[in-house]
Amino acid sequence: MKEFVANTYGRFPVTFVKGEGCRLYDDKGREYLDFTSGIAVCNLGHCHPSVVEAVSAQAARLIHTSNLFWTVPQQKLAQEICRHSFAERVFFCNSGAEAVEAAIKLARRRGHFLLGGSYEIVCLQGAFHGRTLAALSATGQPVYKRGFEPLPAGFTHVRPNDLEALEMAVTSRTCAILLEPIMGEGGVIPLEDRFLELARELCDRRNLLLMFDEVQVGMGRTGSLFAYQQTPVTPDVMCLAKGLGGGIPIGALAASAEVMEFLPPGTHASTFGGNPVACEAGKAVFRALMEEGVLDNAKAAGAHLRQGLERLAAGHSAEIREVRGRGLIQALELKRPAPGLGGLLLEQGLLVVFGHDRIIRLLPPLTVTAAEIDQALSILDTTLKSIKK
């Protein structure tokens, strides 16, 4: 039946039927160690009992109403996001790209009414913000844009951590700077504190919005609830998705009340946004992270993973160029392209996100144990030895 599905993904030849914690099981009963978490989505592991229970109970009560009306789960999840961050207002949508789209619209509308029509957004080369047309325009990787031109105008891209380039890129046309505090899909590249501080300073000086895309690195992934909390700066706007719903699709745009005023009734909407089932899942994720010790585990497990990767890199210095990351988003950059490596690791029972032919991105669930990390490190070690031969 595979031929009925659009061929937009290069998929591995495996079909999964069950998940539990850090493990996935295929249709032949084989077990895999999942260090992708569905690309930073299942942050509590697969089928976390709190998420299953919250979703099942809400589905039996009320699945959907639209945003013509109020529901309590949406209000409560918005309150949780605000209680634990700089934000005071939340707009809900269904994905990362939609959260970025909402941020772009907010910045443009604010630029239109407050900054004399400024509309340009400064982004980074190598950034990834999603596949809708405006999010793609903000993305700093030409390979994803080819054939889709003309893309929406008004986005400039500077080199990450290049202070001079950032300063030069901000002009009277600029309305916002949009950054991933750690560039995930681009290769797990953390932005330097002084670069973030300069971005904050430029925004303050000109009354621009500093917008952080925390779609991949938010929700505990880096060892703090939000990645910005480990930097010296606080953004004005934050995009969330992926881990927010524990596996159920949801996205969010968070900002201060003053900034969110620029999206009054009728200016932006989403039929499914803030659906009660997704919001109950989000509430369960917050409970697990903040009250059931998952965030603490992420910190400890992140340190354990990092130490293991440093050891691995020292033992494979001819193959590994660098270990990068924070908390439980870590990457190994290889010195040479190894196109089939993702498949080799899968054969050994380890799932990773392998990109750009040389970046092994490790995104285990935040519930991962030290023993599971050691098992993954051992598979990486064996597989790297096998490609050396």
Ligand X SMILES: Cc1ncc(COP(=O)(O)O)c(C=O)c1O
CB of 100 to ligand X, least distance (A): 6
Token pair recorded at residue 138 = 């903000």
- How is residue 340 annotated by DSSP? T
Does position 372 interact with ligand X (CB under 6 A)? The reply is: no
Query: Which one of 57-65, 93-101, 274-282, 300-308 is the stretch in contact with ligand X (CB under 6 A)?
Result: 93-101
Segment contacting ligand X (CB under 6 A): 145-153, 170-178, 197-205, 211-219?
Answer: 211-219
**Should residue 97 be labelled a site residue for ligand X when binding is judged by CB under 6 A?**
yes
Nearer to ligand X, 115 or 226 (CB): 226
Q: What's the min distance (Å) between Cβ of 39 and ligand X?
A: 6
Identity of the residue, 77 or 100, whose beta carbon is nearer to ligand X in the bound complex: 100
Task: For residue 69, indicate whether it is catalytic.
Answer: no
Residue 39 or 163: which CB sits closer to ligand X? 39
The position carrying tokens 């990787």 is: 141
- Pick from 19, 38, 45, 96: which binds ligand X (CB under 6 A)? 96
Task: Note whether 130 binds ligand X by CB under 6 A.
Answer: yes
**Ranges assigned E (strand) in the chain:** 16-20, 23-26, 31-34, 89-93, 120-124, 155-158, 174-179, 182-183, 189-190, 209-213, 237-240, 251-255, 320-326, 329-334, 350-351, 353-355, 359-362
* Options 43, 58, 216, 224; binder of ligand X; rule CB under 6 A: 216
Toward ligand X, which CB reaches closer, 97 or 323? 97
**Residue whose CB is less far from ligand X, 185 or 319:** 185
Write out the two tokens for 109.
Answer: 């509308």
Which residue matches tokens 């029972």?
A: 349
In angstroms, rounded to a whole number, what is the distance separating the alpha carbons of residues 145 and 123?
15
- Comparing CA positions, the residue from 318, 326, 328 lying closest to residue 352 is 328
Distance of alpha carbon 89 from alpha carbon 91, whole angstroms: 7
Of 92, 195, 213, 286, the active-site residue reads 213
- Exactly one of 181, 184, 218, 308 binds ligand X (CB under 6 A); that residue is 184
Q: Report, in Å, the least distance between residue 307 CB and ligand X.
A: 26
Residues 250-269 interacting with ligand X (rule: CB under 6 A): none
In angstroms, rounded to a whole number, what is the distance separating the alpha carbons of residues 212 and 210?
7
> In the range 229-248, which residues lie near ligand X by CB under 6 A?
241
> How far from the centroid of its chain's Cα atoms is residue 141's Cα?
17
242 classed as catalytic: yes
Report yes or no: 368 and 322 within 8 Å, Cβ to Cβ: no
128 belongs to the catalytic site: yes
Count, residues near ligand X per rule CB under 6 A = 15
- Taking CB atoms, the residue at the shortest distance from ligand X is 96
- Is 95 near ligand X (CB under 6 A)? yes
- Output b/e per residue, 27-62; b: 16+ Cβ within 10 A: eeeeebbbbbbbebbbbbbbebebbeebbeebeeee
Closest by alpha carbon to 370, among 324, 326, 328? 328
Residues known to be catalytic: 128, 213, 242
Binding site for ligand X (CB under 6 A): 39, 95-97, 100, 128-130, 180, 184-185, 213, 215-216, 241
